[in-house]
Structure formats: C-alpha cells, structure tokens
Amino acid sequence: MSDSLRLDPSAFDPAHVPADQLAVNAAIIKRLQSFDNWSAAPAIIRQMRREGRGAFPAPVPSPRATTMTIDGKHGPIGLRILGPENPKAVYLHIHGGGWTLGTADGQDQWYERFADRLGITTVSVDYRLGPEDPYPMGPDDCETAALWLVAEAQKRFGTDRLLIGGESAGAHLSVVTLLRLRDRHGIMPFCGANLHAGCYDLGLTPSARNWGTEKLVLNTRDISMFVRHFLVRGGDVCDPDISPLWADLKGMPPALFTVGSSDLLVDDTLFMAPRWVAAGNAASLEVYPGGCHVFIAFPGQNSDRCLDRIEGFMQGAIAA
C-alpha cells in the first residue's frame, strides 16, 4: 500500500481539474461571498447549515437510521446507526465541522451507500462541540464511542471487523481516537482508517496558514476560529492529543488519505501520510485535482472517483 504514496504532481496542475469541479468551486465561492461563519452564535450557524445556507447542501436524514445513547464522561453520547443487522463490518464514523458544527445525521447518503454496496453498518458519533463543550469533551466522546463499539460489536452486529474514519475535523478526531486506544488502553481494534481532508496540526500547516481570504468552503480565518472554539479552555497545539501530526504514529492501522489539491488543508494530508508510513504503517495517498475541502459532499467526477476508492479501501481492509 505504501507504494501509492508516490505523489503525482499532475494532481496540482490546473489543466487536469475536471470541468465539473471548476463549476462547483466557482459556485461555492460565489455563494459564500457574503456568508460569514462568525456573524452569529454557533448555534445559529448550525441551524443555517442544516437548512443548506452554507457551503454544503442541506443534509437529508435517512429513514433507515436508528439512534441510541451511551453513557460518557460528560453525559449521554448519541449514536446514529445505519446498515444491515448482520454486516460484514462496522464503520465508526466521526463527522466534520471544525469541532464546532456538524451532526451525526448529516452524512446519511454515504452510510446508505456503504450499506448497500459493501454490507457495512455505520455507527456515527454525535460528539460534543465547541465552544460550548470544548476540548477535551469531543475527543472524550469519540474515545468512549470507540470503546463501546469494541465491547459491543460482536454481540450487537455479529462481527469484530471494525473501521474508523471521518472528514476534516472527523479525520482529526479519528486519529486522536486511535492514538488514545493505543496509549491509554493498549488496543488497536480497527482494521482500517478512512481519513479524508483531515486537519492534523492545529497550529496550521503552510497551506492553511497561507491560504488567505478566498472562501472555497473555508479560509484561513475560518480554520483559526474553529481552533479557537475547540480550545476555548486552552491547550497546547503541539500536544499530540490536539495535533496528531506531532504524535508517535507506530502501531496504527492501514489508512487511506484522500484530499483535493484546492483544499486549504492539503498540506495536513501531505505531511501526515508519509509520517504514517515512516512509522511502519500501511497507507495510500490520493490527491484529486482541484478538489475543494471535503469535495466528496458535492456531485462530480472527483467525488465519484474518491468514493469508489474509499469503498475499495474498505473492502480490502475488511478482507485483509
């Protein structure tokens, strides 16, 4: 798997950006010209996003999903479950949203796809969000959900084949969760990690720091504000529990790293994937020409290719 870390520079050539991706990017920039994530309280911005008044389309919750709660260190934690009763594997999904926005029911279209095409059941974590419930509450919730799944998977789902992953802040929290399971509990129960467009250094990598004001989903100010909300009670951005790019990554499961070349967080993925391999882990890295931040949320050639690749990775991880 590590052979695929050979980076093809053509992914960064504007001539290779699909026409539909160019159209998506232009539409996002136009739509967000007058949209300010920070003009209202986070609770109001969350509601606006649920109504589709932001970068991403409005979520369409699936009637096939069920919900439950488990006990956590900071109170009940919601879990959203979607998939067959006797799946081939269970995917612990951690949603994105800058540790401030997002919900467990905002990605049901992916969960339905994984259920129908792969026979996978997804458990999505409704973890606590900043600034109301800042670090370490969100990571604590994800750690608790992972431990619950490890203990309950065989009994509830009939399988111990487990995957983990997420997008943006969800990819970050997935890696933090893996590190906590290894370091605090001495276990590594996941057979694969699907990590899309993650933010792994909250001190900001060069691409995030130098992006500027153009709002292609996010800009530098947005990332800085999300970090501020996550760390409203303080925290060292060089702490591996906050910035997993700084961690000792030995003993991690095989991972698929995917990102768009026009994502302000592209350097986070370009830095993390080689460190994953250098620590002795298997990893694949794929960069999609012109892809914006979390481009898989938008229809198009890049999205289709990337979701197909994610499915192939999941199938391989389950079978390995």
Cα distance between residue 147 and residue 144, in whole Å: 5
- Here the CATH number for the domain that contains residue 56 is 3.40.50.1820
Mean pLDDT over 89-101 rounds to 97
Q: What's the pLDDT tens digit per position in 54-74?
A: 888 888 899 999 999 999 999
Cα–Cα distances in Å, from 48 out to 185, 258, 281, 289? 39, 28, 40, 29
pLDDT at 1: 42
Residue 161: per-residue pLDDT: 98
Domain that holds residue 213: 2-319
- Look at residues 294, 281, 228 and name the one whose alpha carbon lies nearest to residue 42: 228
pLDDT grade for 271, boundaries at 50, 70 and 90: very high
| pLDDT, tens digit (0-9, with 9 covering 90-100), for 288-319 | 999 999 999 999 999 999 999 999 999 999 99
Residues in the chain: 320
Numbers of helices and strands, H then E, in the chain: 9, 8
Q: What is the pLDDT of residues 214-243, one digit of tens each?
A: 999 999 999 999 999 999 999 999 999 999
pTM: predicted TM-score of the whole model, two decimal places: 0.96
Q: What is the pLDDT of residues 154-211, one digit of tens each?
A: 999 999 999 999 999 999 999 999 999 999 999 999 999 999 999 999 999 999 999 9
Counting the structural domains of the chain, the total is: 1
Task: List all residues 6 or more positions away from 85 whose beta carbon is below 8 Å from its beta carbon.
Answer: 121, 157, 158
Q: What torsion, rounded to 10 degrees, do the Cα atoms 234, 237, 241, 244 define?
A: 160
Distance in Å from the first CA to the final CA of the chain: 12
Q: Is 51 helix (H, G, I), strand (E, B) or coil?
A: coil
Residue 147: is its pLDDT beyond 80? yes
- Name the residue among 143, 125, 146, 123 with its Cα closest to residue 135: 143
